[in-house]
Structure 1
Amino acid sequence: MTKPAPRGLHRPPIARWFFLQGVVLVVVSLAFLGLRGQVSWYSALLGGTIFLLSNGYFALKAFRYSGARSAKQIMNSFYKGEAGKLILCAVGFTMVFKWIQPLDIAALFLTFAIMLVTNWFTPMLVGSKTQQS
């Protein structure tokens, strides 16, 4: 009898998470377009895009390594990913405030907040299936 191969740690389904978050961003942006107009639409789109880009950077850094032997590298990657995410958010908001006029600040920040909350619930919505590294 042969034993099945041991199952290691797996990476979360990042692509599915970002797809769901992208759908949420499109729906929220279109809702702003319908309810408040074009300025609110692109402001919402920018707020969600800032979130997605910075969160994507974090995901690339944080889930770069896997396995128990890589524990130190995993922790370092999480710290670097989180620091980079915060910097990208700051740079993103700075660029938007500097170069985009007119701007609906409420739509920008509300969409960013909606994306943040969506990020908290995405693992439950997508499911706990994982992908192989």
Structure 2
Amino acid sequence: MSQALISHGYQQAKKLLMIQALIIAFVSCFGLIKEFKVAVALLSGGMAVFLANCFFVYKAFSKSGAQANKQVVGAFYLGETIKIFLAVGLISVAFWQLPGFEIFALAGYVVALLSQWLAPIIIKTH
């Protein structure tokens, strides 16, 4: 892969992460209407996905070049595997630390997942 292509993909990934962060913050602010802990739970659930995605972007774009083809694929798979475990671990911590507010943490998690799936519709990615 050319360095320009890698750079373009990395810039697109950063835009998608920024949109995801804004959506998580926006939804968390709505939680303040009900109660502060609701907002914290929404933010915690969303951050579980967001932080995992940040790690994946870092790992996926850490290798480049036609000579490093196997390293690129390996970095992608390793990044995705760790991303899944990281997200599960972080949402588990949110459940453990916020008893009684698990549904809101889960809602934040789902909103963050939906935002990553819908973000390409929001911005032009090609």
With over 3 angstroms needed to count, the CA separation of the structure-2 counterparts of 1:71 and 1:103, relative to structure 1, is farther
Counterparts of 1:116-131 in structure 2 under 5 Å? 116-128=113-125
User: C-alpha distance in 2, partners of 1:59/1:78?
Assistant: 9
Q: Structure 2, unaligned stretches of length 5 or more? A: none
Identity %: 25
Q: What's the secondary structure of 2:43's corresponding residue?
A: helix
CA contact (8 A) 1:10 1:66 kept: yes
CA RMSD of aligned residues (A): 2.1
1:38 positional shift: 1.4
1:22 alignment counterpart: 21
With over 3 angstroms needed to count, the CA separation of the structure-2 counterparts of 1:7 and 1:49, relative to structure 1, is closer
With over 3 angstroms needed to count, the CA separation of the structure-2 counterparts of 1:7 and 1:57, relative to structure 1, is closer
With over 3 angstroms needed to count, the CA separation of the structure-2 counterparts of 1:97 and 1:128, relative to structure 1, is closer
User: C-alpha distance in 2, partners of 1:127/1:64?
Assistant: 24
Q: Are 2:44 and 1:46 aligned?
A: yes
1:8 positional shift: 5.1
CA contact (8 A) 1:8 1:67 kept: no
2:104 alignment counterpart: 107
With over 3 angstroms needed to count, the CA separation of the structure-2 counterparts of 1:43 and 1:7, relative to structure 1, is closer
Q: Structure 1, unaligned stretches of length 5 or more? A: 1-5
With over 3 angstroms needed to count, the CA separation of the structure-2 counterparts of 1:47 and 1:7, relative to structure 1, is closer
Larger radius of gyration: 1
With over 3 angstroms needed to count, the CA separation of the structure-2 counterparts of 1:33 and 1:120, relative to structure 1, is same
2:89 alignment counterpart: 91
User: C-alpha distance in 2, partners of 1:107/1:69?
Assistant: 46
Q: Are 2:61 and 1:63 aligned?
A: yes
User: C-alpha distance in 2, partners of 1:124/1:101?
Assistant: 33
CA contact (8 A) 2:94 2:105 kept: no
